[in-house]
Amino acid sequence: MSANNKEELNKLAAGSQTKHSSSTSDETAQEQPPSSSTQPKQLPAKPSPPSATAAASAATTTTTPKPSLASSPAKTQPEPPPFEKGLVEQLKNKFGDIVKVVFIKPLRIKIQVEPQDIVGVASFLRDSMGFDHAESVAGTDYPKDNQIEVVYHLGSYSREELAAHILWLTARTNKDDARLPTLINIYKSVEYHERECYEMLGVYFEGHPRNERFLLPEDWADIPPLRKDFRIKGR
Amino acid sequence: MTSIEEKFEESKRLGLQIVKESEEDRLMTLSVGPQHPGSGHFRFVIKVDGDYIVYCDPDPGYVHRGEEKMCEYRNVIQNIPHLERPVIHDSANITYSYSLAVEELVGIEVPRRGQFIRAIASELNRQVYTLYWLAIYGIFLGHSTMFMWPTGDREVIIDLLEALTGARVTHAFNIPGGVRNDMPEGFRDRCLSQIRYLQKRFKEYEDIFYNNPLFRQRTEGVAVLSKEDAIKLGVTGSVVRASSVPFDVRKAEPYDIYNEIDFKVQYMKTGDCFARSYVPLLDMQESCYIIEQLLDKMPASGEVRAKLQPNPKGPPGESYRRVESGRGALGYYIVSDGTPKPYRVKISVGSFRNMLALPYLLVGKRLADMPAVYWSLNYWPVEADR
């Protein structure tokens, strides 16, 4: 990261602004200039090196604290980008304390809800905010908390200004009796993802028509393999 | 020669029961695969009434390798070679999004020249994949010339990639921090001349394949996926672009230097098999322009790789980054707990998402449409299984 490189990055940031507004549709660029000007360079610019944050534009220059691991829902980012903040406020106005905001990063928002609220929040996200499909459903095992976290990565095709955004809708469930309500009636696209999550992590999705084996062998007779207490043989 | 009556007598004597034909018997269950020509190991169970498909149930998993679990046992650099195995024809794009996600977690700034080179590598690699896919689409529909031509032209790009990366298919070239090595001497001129050759060939593909009346009749108006349904099913890549959703990750969420590149998102409005097979060709033509721009705009010299610590690790955190691969958006969700090994890796692949459209599109079609519909979904079984 020499001075040379920094100059180039600065040039790049300037170039990207003009280029971007010309290439995408104008109304999007005007509606939310910070988001469009800070797009690709900022995501890697999160952690420590100060040169990286200096090169990026003004919006998140003061982000010193690191985002903590998913297990601790805390507002670590003091100055989130305005567009993302607006989205979160829209959620907060509707649901209040039901929605816990884990972090707000450029283009990425993570919220956490209780299992019984997830269907309501998801239908609001789809109907009123335009997140119309799920890109993936990932489960993560946290043996320390004895919990499994399920993350829905929601994206949008129909709202152009949301195309770059991914909203992470998460819920946690107890590992001993892992159950969550299914979102298949809201997002048809989660059908196979939830089925995979069921077999890989043992989360039973209540209301899902097929909580069944999907990718694993037919004679699989072990615990779900992506749980942390499953060990690969020989390791 | 025994008559039917004798057979009946015989079966009665043996104590066999003769059942009447029921409604259920009209349907025949077919297991397509898992050894399916060209497609990799994937099976779907269909039921046919006459030659109409009335039921379809995909059964993937024959090439499930547990990539996600394997990631948890290796550090971020050791993970590169095994992660690109699912689609060896498109390995640069797979490692691209993995690298982006790791860079966000570890905090690596990629040198500018490195960004250009890895964009070139992944553009070339996407073309390799698409040509291979196109070749199989040709042979699926009984057009053997279309199998030979793209397979041969694919070698042109593979030679280019071999000169660039040192390997024909699995390059392990895009790594966290940049690319493994700089471009060789004279690569630019060679690349440009090969691109011109390919652009000429793409026109010939249109003449012999896409304008072929037989191909048109088998694909036009077949298995239409409407825009609303495409959004609802969450399909991606050429499938969603064929249904008039102009979504391309390179445009929607430009990574690295893609916001400096001027290109159009190619999409079509009909949403039938023809659109789904034609959009990848348009993408390849657009990709040629992108490569020309990348070669023009890249800095003449400089670092191509950021210095990494021996066992790269960052603070605890999570990242989800995606790129546009040959089969659509390819995302990596990585959770890190602060150690060199990822805590959890989830790979969100286009094939897995597009598979959801298969039963939706196949039901109600004739059995003869099955290959055209199945392969138009840009489905790569090994990638879907991971």
Q: Same structural domain for residues A100 and A13?
A: no
Q: Which of A107, A90, A108 is nearest to A99 (CA)?
A: A90
Q: Residue B19 — very low, low, confident or very high, per pLDDT cuts 50/70/90?
A: low
Q: Which of B162, B170, B125, B131 is nearest to B147 (CA)?
A: B131
pLDDT number for residue B26: 76
Q: Residue B52 — very low, low, confident or very high, per pLDDT cuts 50/70/90?
A: confident
Specify if B42 maps to a domain. Answer: no
**Please, are residues B264 and B283 in contact by the beta-carbon 8 Å criterion?**
no
Specify if B11 maps to a domain. Answer: no
Provide the domain count of chain A: 2
In the predicted structure, residue A193 carries a pLDDT above the cut 70: yes
Look up the CATH number of the domain holding residue B199. Answer: 1.10.645.10
Q: Which two tokens stand for residue B87?
A: 């689609």
- DSSP label of A134: E
Q: Same structural domain for residues A101 and A5?
A: no
C-beta atoms of A135 and B356 within 8 A? no
pLDDT number for residue B17: 63
Instruction: Tell me the residue type at B270.
Output: T
**Helix boundaries (H) for chain B:** 4-13, 67-71, 79-83, 91-106, 112-140, 144-165, 187-205, 213-219, 227-233, 238-242, 249-252, 273-297, 350-354, 357-362, 370-376, 381-385
A216 touches chain B (CB under 8 A): yes
Q: Same structural domain for residues A153 and A223?
A: yes
pLDDT number for residue A101: 84
Q: Please state, rounded to an integer, the average pLDDT across all residues of chain B.
A: 86
In the predicted structure, residue B61 carries a pLDDT above the cut 80: yes
pLDDT number for residue A67: 41
Q: Against a cut of 0.80, is the pTM above it? A: no
C-beta atoms of A70 and B335 within 8 A? yes
In the predicted structure, residue B113 carries a pLDDT above the cut 80: yes
Q: Which tens digit of pLDDT belongs to each residue from A123-166?
A: 888 888 888 889 889 989 898 888 899 999 998 888 888 888 88
In B, residues 314-373, which contact A (CB 8 Å cutoff)? 314-322, 329, 331, 333, 335, 337-338, 343-344, 346, 348, 352-353, 355-356
Question: CA B386, B132, B120 angle in degrees (round to 5)?
Answer: 85
- DSSP label of A115: G
C-beta atoms of B104 and A43 within 8 A? yes
Q: How many CB atoms lie within 10 A of CB B312?
A: 18
Q: Which tens digit of pLDDT belongs to each residue from B266-280?
A: 888 888 899 999 999
Note down the domain range covering A13.
1-64
Note down the domain range covering B376.
58-385
CA distance A202 to B2: 57
- Name chain A contacts of B73, Cβ cutoff 8 Å: 232, 235
CA distances from B55 to A16, B122, B258, B378 (A): 49, 38, 42, 21
C-beta atoms of A132 and B233 within 8 A? no
B41 touches chain A (CB under 8 A): no
Q: Same structural domain for residues A86 and A58?
A: no
Is the peptide bond preceding residue B371 cis, with omega within 30 degrees of 0?
no
Q: Same structural domain for residues A194 and A118?
A: yes
Instruction: Tell me the residue type at A5.
Output: N
pLDDT number for residue A73: 42
Average of pLDDT values for B240-251?
89
Q: Distance between alpha carbon A90 and the CA centroid of its chain, in Å? A: 17
In the predicted structure, residue A48 carries a pLDDT above the cut 80: no
Last residue of a domain, one of A64, A86, A102: A64
Specify if B268 maps to a domain. Answer: yes
In A, residues 39-68, which contact B (CB 8 Å cutoff)? 39-40, 43-49, 51-52, 66-68
CA distance A210 to B156: 46
A192 touches chain B (CB under 8 A): yes
Average of pLDDT values for A44-63?
40
Average of pLDDT values for A79-95?
80
Average of pLDDT values for A63-80?
47
CB contacts < 8 A, A to B, total: 164
pLDDT number for residue B300: 84
Q: Same structural domain for residues A173 and A105?
A: yes
**Please, are residues B231 and B360 in contact by the beta-carbon 8 Å criterion?**
no
C-beta atoms of B254 and A39 within 8 A? yes
Nearest beta carbon to residue A138 from set B69, B104, B333: B333
Q: Residue A25 — very low, low, confident or very high, per pLDDT cuts 50/70/90?
A: very low
Q: Same structural domain for residues A49 and A155?
A: no
Q: Residue B158 — very low, low, confident or very high, per pLDDT cuts 50/70/90?
A: very high
A14 touches chain B (CB under 8 A): no
Specify if B33 maps to a domain. Answer: no
Q: Same structural domain for residues A118 and A233?
A: yes
Q: How many CB atoms lie within 10 A of CB B2?
A: 8
Name the residue in chain A with its Cα closest to that of B360: A188
In the predicted structure, residue B313 carries a pLDDT above the cut 60: yes
Name the packing angle between helices B112-140 and A3-23 (round to 10°). Answer: 50
Nearest beta carbon to residue A157 from set B247, B258, B318: B247
Q: ipTM score of the complex?
A: 0.83
**Please, are residues A175 and A146 in contact by the beta-carbon 8 Å criterion?**
yes
Give how far A133 is from chain B: nearest CA, Å.
5
Look up the CATH number of the domain holding residue A233. Answer: 3.30.460.80
Residue holding tokens 């298969």?
A: B358
pLDDT number for residue B251: 87
Contacts of B208-217 with CB under 8 Å at 24 or more apart are: B208/B145, B208/B146, B208/B149, B209/B138, B209/B143, B209/B145, B209/B146, B210/B274, B210/B277, B210/B278, B210/B281, B212/B143, B214/B141, B214/B143, B215/B141, B215/B143, B216/B274
Q: Residue A19 — very low, low, confident or very high, per pLDDT cuts 50/70/90?
A: very low
B279 touches chain A (CB under 8 A): no
B262 touches chain A (CB under 8 A): yes
Residue holding tokens 């690569």?
A: B187
Q: Same structural domain for residues A177 and A142?
A: yes
